[in-house]
Amino acid sequence: MDSNKNMGNSVFIISLLLTLIFIVWGVFFTDNLAKVTDIIYNGSIDYLGWVYLGATLFFVIFSIYLLFSKYGDIRLGKKTDRPDFNTASWLAMLFGAGMGIGIVYWSVAEPVTHYTSPPYGEGYTIDAANTAMKYTFFHWGLDPWAIYTVIGLALAFFQYNKRLPAAISSAFHPILGDRIYGPIGKTIDILSIFATVFGIATSLGLGAMQVTAGMHDLFGVPNQLFVQMIVIVVATIIFIISINTGLERGIQYLSNAAMILSFAIMLLILIVGPTLTVIKVFFNTTGLYISDFIHMSLRLKPFGEGEWIASWTLFYWAWWIAWAPFVGMFIARVSKGRTVREFVIGVLVVPTLGTCLWMSIFGGSALELVLNSGNHDLAKKITKDVSLSIFTFFDYLPLSSVLSILGFAVVVIYYITVADTATFVLGMLSEGGTLNPSNKIKMTWGVIQSALAAVLLLAGGLNVLQTASIAAALPFAIILVVMCFSLVKGLKSEVEVQRGNKRSANHS
């Protein structure tokens, strides 16, 4: 217990110091940081983009293998353990942590942007619209959720079945043994915290910009830096209050509310929008997505410019991997008592279907407005200012005011949920892997995250930091592949233990 506490203290202190050093670099030497991170990021994409493609396809195949494997019946925890949360709340929480605010931000902007500048062929055509939807499904479908499945399942299994601390290093126990408690394990955990803090600070900064853009569209509030600062302060106060209510109340209630509002918006658009087109888009794009999945997964341009692939597919794969420690840790925390098969269905299959449906409704409706209803100015407005795209889109639908208010509420709730969830995970990671971190540690990280987002917004360093987070994803892609082999070793030993117990019970 003491060793865990000491380990937690040293991980917390070193992570905090590194965070402060990076803040100073980002604020006072922004140009230098931008130059360094650009070189690393561009180098990793240009020379090692194939690593991202290969690793991500491997995670999808590995997740599907787990679904149908002999390990599917293994329960996360004791055989008598049952889930802490009902299935609806569980799905709502993992969806909110995984990509809630992202699908609101990109569901209209991405299909329309691909329609105007497609990966191949001519823009502004029917073929471009079909390709746009297909690639939107691809970027938000099986691949990101497979990344979360791999890391979430590995963390949950080693926490609940092997009784190891809730830390990223625990997932390497079959390979590293007790060295996870030494310098190697601490280094893995410090890197995880470091990646999580900056990934979240970047998202909070960008989220504050989107909330302010929504307030400007709805209420005419000036879209200025000063208002963005106020948004961050108010959101911090709200999520710190939420932190103190614990996982069972704050995060669960917020996630449920976001999910209910999301369903309400989807249904409303389906009813007042082009219903038949949306249904056709869903079926047609699902077919295209399945039939072209392998080609899209391995698509590179060895004999030409691969700028589109680097800017979209490789960027997304790096971004999802950079988010994996945070989302995986949270999914593991709320998944005790579920079997491996339930876990894979809940984390891989259900969110993929839900996301594709959401993209069909938002993206399909937006493309219908541009392509068949002659609203070409909508495409121009959306590609000009992506942060306003969802509100611009609502302006072209009936009941636009109601939709804008609901959309704004969803953005705000997802924003607070992500901040709340991230603070919880950082507390777990920096307190030696405890499942219930203290309020003091959670509040400390909450204030640091918000301060970091605010300072970097003021210094103009947010985009730089986003690049830095993604540049760090490459080594993590390789770490995740190793984690898969570690997980299989752990699952094999679990099956052997269960067989041994069964034989003992039969002989007695």
Q: Which residues, 6 or more positions from 279, have their beta carbon under 8 angstroms from its beta carbon?
A: none
Q: Report residue 492's pLDDT band, with 50, 70 and 90 as the boundaries.
A: very high
Range from 100-104, 218-222, 302-306 that averages highest in pLDDT: 218-222
pLDDT in tens, 175-207: 888 888 888 888 888 877 777 777 777 777 777
Closest CA to 37 of 452, 419, 322: 322
Q: Report residue 4's pLDDT band, with 50, 70 and 90 as the boundaries.
A: low
Place of tokens 């984390």: 347
Q: How far apart are CA 171 and CA 98, in angstroms?
A: 20
Amino acid found at 248: E
- % of the chain residues with pLDDT over 70: 93
Q: What is the dihedral of CA 62, 66, 69, 73, to 10 degrees?
A: 170
How far CA 352 is from CA of 60, 338, 357, 484, in Å, comes to 12, 19, 9, 21
Q: Report residue 150's pLDDT band, with 50, 70 and 90 as the boundaries.
A: very high
For the cut 50, the answer to whether the pLDDT of residue 346 exceeds it is: yes
For the cut 80, the answer to whether the pLDDT of residue 163 exceeds it is: yes
Burial code of 23-43, b = ≥16 C-beta within 10 A, e = fewer? bebbbeebeebbebbeebbee
Residue of higher predicted confidence among 123 and 37: 123
**Structure token pair of residue 434:** 């405890």
Query: Which pLDDT value is given to residue 459?
Result: 67
Query: Which pLDDT value is given to residue 185?
Result: 84
Q: Report residue 385's pLDDT band, with 50, 70 and 90 as the boundaries.
A: confident
For the cut 60, the answer to whether the pLDDT of residue 7 exceeds it is: no
For the cut 60, the answer to whether the pLDDT of residue 503 exceeds it is: yes
For the cut 90, the answer to whether the pLDDT of residue 350 exceeds it is: yes
| 400-430 helix and 87-106 helix, angle to the nearest 10 degrees | 120
How far CA 219 is from CA of 83, 105, 350, in Å, comes to 43, 19, 36
- % of the chain residues with pLDDT over 90: 29
Average pLDDT of the segment spanning 231-245: 79
Q: How far apart are CA 245 and CA 243, in angstroms?
A: 5
Model confidence pTM above 0.75: yes
For the cut 80, the answer to whether the pLDDT of residue 461 exceeds it is: no
For the cut 60, the answer to whether the pLDDT of residue 5 exceeds it is: no
Query: Which pLDDT value is given to residue 6?
Result: 53
Query: Which pLDDT value is given to residue 444?
Result: 83
Average pLDDT of the segment spanning 435-460: 78
Average pLDDT over all residues of the chain = 84
Q: How far apart are CA 399 and CA 57, in angstroms?
A: 41
Q: Report residue 98's pLDDT band, with 50, 70 and 90 as the boundaries.
A: confident
Query: Which pLDDT value is given to residue 1?
Result: 44
For the cut 90, the answer to whether the pLDDT of residue 307 exceeds it is: no
Residue of higher predicted confidence among 69 and 426: 69
Place of tokens 């959309």: 407
Q: Report residue 329's pLDDT band, with 50, 70 and 90 as the boundaries.
A: confident
Radius of gyration (C-alpha) of the chain in whole angstroms: 22
Average pLDDT of the segment spanning 398-418: 85
